[in-house]
């Protein structure tokens, strides 16, 4: 981008020896912000869900100690007795429930990973936009500073003219009103700049000073991209889309898992039982122990339509997620189209705004010369100063819009 006026050149004169660039601030934000840790923790939690899903593939070991008191001795059991029981059981078949539960848990972990990618992209976009806001506020302050200094010179010149009788009191008051308004605008711009630095610091998660920034990322205008290529990339790589696609798989897998209720269940159980006729095992006068191996085949015949309802519920969940996915793709595609429209217009407007600054500067120069010769009124000079400020503000606005659209387009394809 060719910078053609002193105002724009001043925007890039604040670099420091140890400036922080956008990429470094984004990296700091990813390391500092608790919102990222929140999603990292959820991802770690999903890892434990996989471990839980794999648990049925390992044997279950149980031990129990039971103390019994009867009202009288029975044929096979004393009034006071105790039983030590231990068992090892292993499920051989459960209708493939465990297999599908593991697949579901692994896919849910992938969903959490996509969610983490999404929040990281959002955070980096927030940092970029906050950085851009500081750049815009600094540029606006420079415009306000330039207008304030120009009107200050005009006002002091007006005072000199008033003292020698070249202008009246009302003309001088006009200069003063505009001068005071420029002072108010400058103070507001300075406050806005300080607040924007605070917002940037919040997004980064660490204190950032204005002197740390050199805004080198804004020295050249971004170029217009291939919309079709961006659309394809967005639909393939956007983390939110991939998360919903994975959730559809989760629901389908859960439906298969619920179907296991229609199948028999086969368990292998080995147990040991020690009976003693005293509350404390080993202290009685009689004891008996037993080792038993069991192969248990069981099948549920009716569970109140719970199995059927669970399968149907999982299938409906998959269908609802498909609808949600299509809506999301349509929304993203529309947003992308609109961003490209805004981006293209903003790039064109930068050239228009540059030309307007040239014309406003020339208009001010000519008006100032005519005013010095007594050929222009005070209001014409004030209008020329206002026109230049407006042109400079417009330039800052369209430049900010162009970079904002570029950052948002980058986010649309998870490009940070």
pLDDT per position as a tens digit, 114-147:
999 999 999 999 999 999 999 999 998 998 898 8
Residue 47 pLDDT exceeds 60: yes
What pLDDT digit, counting tens, does each position of 290-329 carry? 999 999 999 988 888 888 998 999 999 999 999 999 999 9
Residue 165 is predicted with a pLDDT of 79
Task: Give Cβ neighbours of residue 42 (< 8 Å, ≥ 6 apart).
Answer: 112, 115, 116
What is the band of 157 on the pLDDT scale with cuts at 50, 70, 90? confident
Residue 3 pLDDT exceeds 70: no
Containing H/E element for 128? Answer: helix 97-163
Residue 17 is predicted with a pLDDT of 45
Question: Hey, what are 67's tokens?
Answer: 């103390």
Nearest 5°: CA angle at 362, between 357 and 366? 150
Residue 376 is predicted with a pLDDT of 66
What pLDDT digit, counting tens, does each position of 356-365 carry? 888 888 888 8
Residue 52 is predicted with a pLDDT of 92
Residue 1 pLDDT exceeds 50: no
Residue 209 pLDDT exceeds 70: yes
β partners of residue 86: 63, 272
- Give me the percent of the chain exceeding a pLDDT of 70: 95
Residue 10 pLDDT exceeds 70: no
Q: Are 393 and 401 in contact (CB under 8 A)?
A: no
The predicted model scores a pTM of 0.81
Closest CA to 292 of 273, 275, 274, 271: 271
Containing H/E element for 42? Answer: helix 34-54
User: CA 414, CA 240: separation in Å to the nearest integer?
Assistant: 10
Residue 155 pLDDT exceeds 90: no
Residue 11 pLDDT exceeds 70: no
β partners of residue 89: 60, 269
What pLDDT digit, counting tens, does each position of 251-283 carry? 999 999 988 888 999 999 999 999 888 888 888
């Amino acid at each position: 981008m060719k910078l053609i006026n002193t105002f724009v050149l001043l925007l890039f004169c604040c670099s420091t020896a140890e400036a922080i660039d956008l990429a470094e601030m984004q990296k700091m934000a990813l390391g500092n912000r608790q919102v990222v840790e929140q999603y990292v923790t959820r991802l770690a939690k999903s890892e434990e869900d996989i471990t839980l899903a794999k648990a049925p593939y390992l044997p279950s070991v149980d031990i129990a100690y039971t103390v019994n008191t009867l009202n009288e001795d029975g044929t096979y059991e004393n009034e006071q007795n105790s039983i030590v029981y231990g068992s090892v059981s292993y499920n051989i078949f459960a209708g493939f429930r465990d297999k599908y539960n593991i697949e579901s848990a692994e896919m849910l972990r992938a969903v959490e990973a996509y969610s983490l990618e999404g929040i990281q992209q959002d955070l980096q976009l927030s940092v970029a936009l906050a950085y851009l806001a500081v750049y815009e506020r600094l540029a606006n302050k420079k415009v306000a500073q330039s207008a304030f200094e120009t009107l200050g010179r005009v006002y002091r010149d007006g005072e000199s003219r008033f003292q020698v009788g070249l202008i009246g009191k009302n003309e001088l008051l006009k200069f003063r009103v505009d001068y005071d308004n420029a002072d108010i605008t400058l103070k507001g711009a300075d406050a806005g700049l300080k607040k924007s630095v605070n917002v940037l610091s919040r997004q980064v998660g660490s204190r950032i000073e204005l002197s740390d920034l050199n805004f080198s990322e804004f020295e050249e205008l971004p170029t217009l991209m291939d919309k079709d290529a961006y659309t394809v990339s967005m639909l393939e790589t956007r983390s939110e889309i991939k998360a919903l696609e994975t959730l559809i798989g989760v629901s389908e897998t859960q439906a298969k898992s619920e179907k296991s209720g229609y199948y028999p269940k086969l368990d292998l159980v080995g147990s040991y039982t020690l009976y003693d006729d005293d509350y404390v095992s080993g202290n009685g006068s009689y004891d008996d122990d037993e080792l038993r191996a069991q192969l248990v085949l069981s099948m549920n015949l009716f569970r109140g339509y719970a199995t059927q309802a669970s399968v149907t519920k999982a299938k409906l969940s998959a269908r609802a997620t498909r609808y949600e996915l299509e809506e999301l793709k349509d929304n993203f595609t529309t947003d992308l189209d609109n961003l490209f429209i805004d981006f293209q217009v903003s790039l064109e407007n930068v050239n228009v705004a540059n030309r307007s600054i040239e014309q406003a500067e020339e208009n001010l120069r000519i008006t100032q010369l005519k005013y010095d010769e007594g050929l222009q009124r005070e209001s014409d000079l004030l209008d020329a100063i206002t026109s230049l400020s407006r042109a400079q503000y417009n330039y800052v606005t369209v430049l900010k819009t162009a970079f904002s659209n570029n950052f948002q387009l980058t986010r649309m394809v998870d490009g940070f």
